[in-house]
Amino acid sequence: MTVTATSVGEPEQLEPLAAPAPRGAHRVRRLVPAAAASLSGVLLYVSFPPRTLWWLALPAFAVLGWTLRGRSWKGGLGLGYLFGLGFLLPLLVWTGVEVGSGPWLALVAVEAIFVALVGAGIALVSRLPGWPVWAAALWIAGEAARARAPFDGFPWGKIAFGQADGVFLPLAAVGGTPVLGFAVVLCGFGLYEIMRLAVEGRRTGGVLRRGAAVVAALSVVVPVLGAVAARSLVSDKAENGTATVALVQGNVPRSGLAFNAQRRAVLDYHARETERLAAKVKAGKVPRPDLVLWPENSSDIDPFANADAATVIQRAAKAIGVPVSVGGVVERGGKLYNEQILWDPNKGPVDTYDKRQVQPFGEYLPLRSLLGAINANWTSMVRQDFSRGQKPGVFTMADAKVGLVTCYEAAFDWTVRTTVTDGAQLISVPSNNATFDRSEMTYQQLAMSRIRAVEHSRTVTVPVTSGVSAIIMPDGKITQRTGMFVADSLVQKVPLRSSETPATRLGTLPETVLVLVAIGGLGWALASAARGRRDRGAGDVALEEPEVTEPAR
């Protein structure tokens, strides 16, 4: 039995005490949100390539919305971290393919912190009117932060990169990866809000809060209608004629970190496949290309310092008879560069592009002295840091302007955009994925290139040392692709385009607007929480004040 508070002078009212729930049931109830957050993160991972289950991102965010709505910021922080682990642990497992689980787990642990902070923010704004909008903007703000820090950022796992096969894809042409990702997350949170309001309506006899219902419906309808309207921005029409491109995939002697142990073999393989392509052209089996694209690391022997490497490349270029873009490792002025070299069949090397966004712990080693002091073996894999290029790379090959975005750079919005604004009519993403064997990394990166094709309305070519090499149309569709760890070549006539999409013209503006929306929502939520605490405090003081009576006159 329990005693309830009564008015003075009234008899105490006794109510039966409900039987306490079993202690185990309480534990289970506490574990349900944690399990749901983790599993919804895994669901989001399953929506990513190589699978084409893009739509699973919507229920993933719907479940995340259920776990976070109405919770304290501390609860949101923990649940957000679990969601991040569920998503990023399987997504980034390829980072430990050759170097062990240590770097993989460390990377995930750091990246999940950003997701945790977003979870805390979503928990706070979930009490606001129209919370799906604020919550989706917060997610994009978290992606913006991840793309910039630490060590110049790691944007792998942006929601947009999982939508290459989805209905929202045309939105990439509107505002790039931030707008595409915002639409997906907003739609997911909107679906949860619709379901929540429907349940609430049944409990209240069909009474719905009109404003909340309208916002929830618009959170789903507007992204879908926006994607349908944005299809008009996607076009494969040639604006500056066409070019017949050839991609050469020479293959490597072995996968993993040892692929580079036989650098001369890698160069020979690509030269041999180019000469084989030249023989096919001569026999009339394939069209004569206007330009040939080799992958990153196709000549890790510096052709400027090694005459034998230059001779091999020159012979291959002479055989095919058109300009060749060669991926090389070049030392200049005591500095090391990951470089694309434009090789003319008659003049030799005539232009270069140095990779601007170099990969931390892969191409340069942050905190080298600290890591070396802990374990000298950790610094042996990157003996010399690569230096950064300073300018976008656009090669004039035949009559085409080819923009260069080397491998890891495809994950960064700014590197691709500056190449297009510098005049690229088509984009090449030369890559070397041999280090990561047959992992999902290759397919995740290929999806990024598909998003970039739509974002900037350009043909994107992806020549890779060991596969998958591919040709992607401006609408994001792959028209040709190779297998993995085979020698092969692709030849195709592709459109050249020079018009700019809204995403190209707007640059970082859509992302900036969404970040400001996130800050505004967070500020509103914090101010509301502070006002609520003040009001409760004032009420408590009023209850504690003694009754004041006027003195007798």
The CA radius of gyration of the chain, in Å to the nearest whole number, is 29
Q: What's the full length of the chain, in residues?
A: 553
- Helix (H) or strand (E) run with residue 540 in it: helix 509-544
Residue 393, beta-bridge partner list = 404
- Residue 37: CB atoms within 10 Å: 25
Closest CA to 282 of 226, 321, 331: 321
Q: Report yes or no: 299 and 504 within 8 Å, Cβ to Cβ.
A: no
Supply the DSSP string of 233-292, one letter for each residue. G-----SS-EEEEEEEE---SSSGGGGGGGHHHHHHHHHHHHHHHHHHHHTTSSPPPSEE
Backbone angles phi, psi at 114, to 5 degrees: -60, -40
Torsion of CA 409, 415, 420, 421, to 10 degrees: -170
Which residue type does 444 have? Q
- Active site (annotated) includes residue 187: no
Task: Find the catalytic residue in 158, 339, 355, 363.
Answer: 355
**What are the angstrom distances between the C-alpha of 287 and each of 239, 241, 290, 320, 478?**
22, 17, 9, 12, 19
Task: Find the catalytic residue in 111, 339, 363, 407.
Answer: 407
Task: Find the catalytic residue in 111, 143, 296, 511.
Answer: 296
Q: Which residues contact 442 (CB under 8 A, 6 or more apart)?
A: 433, 436, 464, 467, 468, 484
SS3 content of the chain, % helix, strand, coil (to 5): 55, 15, 35
Cα 538 from Cα 530, distance rounded (Å): 12
Q: Report yes or no: 313 and 343 within 8 Å, Cβ to Cβ.
A: yes
- Active site (annotated) includes residue 547: no
- Active site (annotated) includes residue 237: no
What tokens were used for 135? 């919550």
Which residue type does 48 have? F
Q: Report yes or no: 340 and 323 within 8 Å, Cβ to Cβ.
A: no
Cα 265 from Cα 484, distance rounded (Å): 18
The sign of the dihedral angle between the CA atoms of 6, 10, 16, 17 is positive
Sheet containing strand 478-481, edge to edge, reads: 393-397, 400-404, 426-428, 459-462, 470-472, 478-481
Report, as residue numbers or ranges, the catalytic residues.
296, 355, 407
